[in-house]
Chains A and B, each alone.
Chain A
Amino acid sequence: MTGIVDCDVHPAPVSSQVLDDFLPFGWRDRRQLAQYLPQQWQRYREALGDRSYMGAEYPRPTPRAARGDSWPGNGGPPGSDLGLLREQLLDAWQIDYGVMNPLLGAGEQLNLEYGGALCHAINDWQREVWTSPEPRLHASVCVPFEDAGLSVAEIRRVAADEAFCQVLVHCRTQEPLGRRKYWPIYEAAVEYRLPVAIHFGGWGGHPPTPAGFPSFYIEDTFSMAAAFAAQLTSLVFEGVLERFPGLRFVLIESGLTWLPGYFARLDRSWRLLHDEVAHVSRTPSEQVRAQVAVTTQPFDEPGPPSRLADFFAKLGMDDRVLFSTDYPHWDFESPGHGPLRLLDPVRKQRIMRDNAMEWFRFGNRAHG
């Protein structure tokens, strides 16, 4: 099929120095200062710059968790070469729109100010290196999401540019995303009519599972669904979805087969414990279905292909499921393989293209 929208593409800088050129004035100033003071800024970035939570090593199944054939000839990592990305993804699969989710750790910097500077750099880099030369690609507003003030400032700085189609946060945060400290980010997202994407990964300083540190990468990745579930629970029970009716979320790389069972438990618990969360007036699963979209990759298949239609009927999110490949990662899902190609044509058209076109208002993006 043609005209596909891919809601999860991962660009990478060719080298760690690339982003330096895009650092905002304050930090660039420090680098200039470093010419006079003994290399303070270079030292910060090289010796101290990317300081995040430590102590959770789960080696991936492939180098940089990437497809073996996605290493470009430019000496950089997978996802760092526009030519190869066009060849392997946009042209190969006739993708009209691709949503980039740069996973460069900016949101989980312990030094929040530095995290903000890094987001600033990443956003300018997306624009200059990716979306300007390749209009099929769209950017995410990277924000230092643990600091709402810095995040709002960054949204305001770039969101009017239609190259940006969503605000990006990570799934494992310091606090559940419904907590009040994050609300200014949502207000800004609503103001600019941008969905907030919650992407697989990140680290807010808590163990990767609610029962502590697991042993294996397979558990680390398995338990990400639990983090997504906790975020949805928080967004519903804190009343965020009701408080901001224009607010929309996208779950990226969350998997989706856990959702129907989760909805049953969520609604049942809301009825049982309603006194405590009396401010939540609408059935939780209805709120999620109205305001949350979910991407397809990795498609954690609900049994044999014959059960697919039954599963989607149970999910009840036909207009909220968005196709994604996760290029260039090891578990890339091509539009031409996998169980989604077996969907009926109507559903397939919605998932592969129409839902995302509406969700991101591609081709119809006058702000305000």
Chain B
Amino acid sequence: MAIADVITRPAAELSRLLHDGQLSPVELVQGYLERIERFDGVLHSYITICADEALAAARVAEAELAAGGSLGPLHGLPIALKDQLHAKGVRTTAGSKILDVVADEDSTVVARLKEAGAIILGKLNMSEFALGGSVQHAFGTPRNPWDNERQPGGSSSGSGIAVSASLCAAAIGEDTGGSIRSPSAWCGITGIRPTWGRVSRYGLLPSAWSMDTAGPMAKTVEDCSMILKVIAGHDANDQYTSKRPSPEFSPIEDLRGVRVGVIRESVTADVLDTEVKGPLDEALRDLEKAGASIEEVSVPLHPVAGLISNAIADAESAFLHREWLRTRPEDYDFANRRRLLATSLIPAGLYQKAQRFRVLMRRQLMATLEDVDILFSPTQAVPPGKIREDTGLTTKEAVVSQFFGSRSHRSPFNLSGLPAMSVPCGFTSGGLPVGMQLAGRPFDEAMLFQVGHAYQQRTDWHERRPPLEG
């Protein structure tokens, strides 16, 4: 089987080919390395490529699979990591000029991937320190594979690009305030932020401890479920990991009985670009055709979720960065430096208020989830914008509308610790991907997978590939 014919396929399909002996892990790794060499000079999705280590691991996997010793569906699959996760013997930079350490042990996520036979292909580019709105990138400006002049979304930018451009079989991202879902939507892939506490944070560089979670980014819902099952679960090294069993993937095609709630405040004309609205409306019609019932629900705090999230998450980050901000301010991306210094000054009373509104947000979402099974909203309310050279935050009003407002679609779920997944649902008239966001009850990723997979059985948005030049 010619590698060029299969390398852009979803991870689950590649896994079946590997296990049937129709595809070799060594050929697959070589295929990705060739594509990285060909395309990544423009896209800048990788920071570190583990070519020798990956080829060595692929040879081992090939022998094990040939001998019938499969370790599971990830065995032999090349997976890349956001450079926020430690992998033994590989440097971690968090996309910054400041951090450059070689880990002496694996993060729990990486250890579990390796135990399941996955091959670590490399470490991926990201917004500096997972802060999202970077303008300057220490390892090259990450570019959207669908239009190289546009942003890929962040902070797991390289993860979104590498999956979309088929520079790995799947990737691990990290989501504090939308960092898995944003690049998933803008790069046209599937990505899930699991319930907080589902995946160990051990060996994951922190951004905001009470929101950080790693999760899979891949071409399909099935791919994501396959990876989440491996990386989820209690870890003695992270006291806040749940002991609940990993979510199972039980595909269904008929969504009769599933109640989908469209968050009213997320789809009003003043917040939603018309180029995004069309695909979202079509996606709702497709879900309805699959049997789901659609209704509108209200989450009154939705419009201020970005504000609340910014006040809490950035204050946590600012505290973590206080010493480097004092001693190496010139080495930060200027946008992040301004952001962190600003939230260094948040008064305790206002921080306390934001924490209380976080609880209210959770209550509002949980109340709606008593009436519906899934919450539906846009992942991004606008298509990917042009790559920026400045923040554009030249007034107080611009901060409110551009910075807080743009985050309000994803923030309700990281504030509330709920699982949320971005699924490709169409394209703008200019050919840019659009993603819908499905969110669910705590630890009910299985429901998200069922609805998302049923949708992907009826649509082909997840099968589209970007027109790469290299």
Do A and B belong to a common assembly?
A: no
Q: Which residues of B contact A (CB under 8 A)?
A: none
